[in-house]
Structure 1
Amino acid sequence: MAKTLYLMRHGQTQFNKLQKIQGACDSPLTQKGIDDAKKMGQLLKNKKIEFDHAYSSTQERASDTLELVTDVPYKRLKGLKEWNFGVFEGESERLNPKPDVKAGSYADFFVPYGGEDAIDVQKRMNQTLTEIMEQPENKNILAVSHGGAIHMFVLKWAKQKHLHISNCAVLKFTYDKGVFTYQNTIEMNEND
């Protein structure tokens, strides 16, 4: 029987607003990030989407977002953390390299600078989300993570490799027999 994963990116943070690289470091949600998370929570309620279990990255911006979206008790997992960008953390996004077109990501660019390899991020996310979905009692799951980590998961499972993952976007996947299948993305209208 197919299960459903709602994989959400955290709300806008101060670093997002300032266009700074944030991965392993953390930055608080802005007022917009707080408001958008509340709106997404209401949108999901309006769509009658209910979660039996919820999970978040151990980073505050993700757990704060989850708490604004739902009151379902949740577990924080390191496997849902953002990509570690090493010494680039907190620096301007203008310093990001051009993505490796073949890999669809930054590949191993950040490794010499104390960061993670893209494939390691992808394996970590895939292992964590698979373990979540394999739990017998988990049927309809909310997991709050981060843009880079979600992008690497999308590269593994979605046919649409270039999905836009805005703050508070929710990507819906079905899960059956070890396979995640991308369904659609739930986003708020910017005018909401």
Structure 2
Amino acid sequence: MNEDIQNFLNALDGIGYIVEGGGRILAVGQPQWQDFLEKTGFAASPTKNVIGHNLFDFITGAEVRSSYQRLHESVWHGQGQKLSFQYRCDGPSVKREMRMSMSHLSLDGIGGAVLYQSQLLSEVARPPLNLLDPDLILGVMANERNFPIVALCSYCQKVAWPLSEHREDAREWITPEDYYARGGHSDVRVSHGICPSCVGMLEMA
């Protein structure tokens, strides 16, 4: 990726990255990437570790991965020159409202590509919620333990609360705060999915 494009990504508000049609990451805004990883508590990873890799390999949960692929392909094919949606990227002690924008790009020698721009809209402190610990979100703390599975919406961070022992689809999506208020605990494995409200939001994006 040439220097002008790298300088453009480095100057964007938030994290910017360019992805080709098949999902390969071509370039990433350098300083914002490191700053955000440090702020959110995820292990710092040099951008060279993601450039050249497929974006969708980093997305956990088949349903979530499929939703990103659908949006990506829509923008890449030019069916929507740009789309955006809000999502959450909470930490144990902080609520974060984010906006993801995806825009079609035409690059010499590559053809169509998609510019992703993830921006922080607000950040509010709250009492710690261990369910949103990065290690738990990534499965590090429960890989070899027979903990129950809890479904977490990857877009709004709501938790699926079962309403029936006999029907897996009988569940209510509640906030992490309500999850603990109802007796939920942190000895779980997190399954990444999408709640019905966010399914509807993405269909309109």
Structure with greater strand percent: 2
Which protein has greater RCO, CA pairs closer than 8 Å, 6+ apart? Answer: 1
Q: Which TM-score applies when normalising by structure 1?
A: 0.24
Structure with greater helix percent: 1
Which structure's CA Rg is the greater one?
2
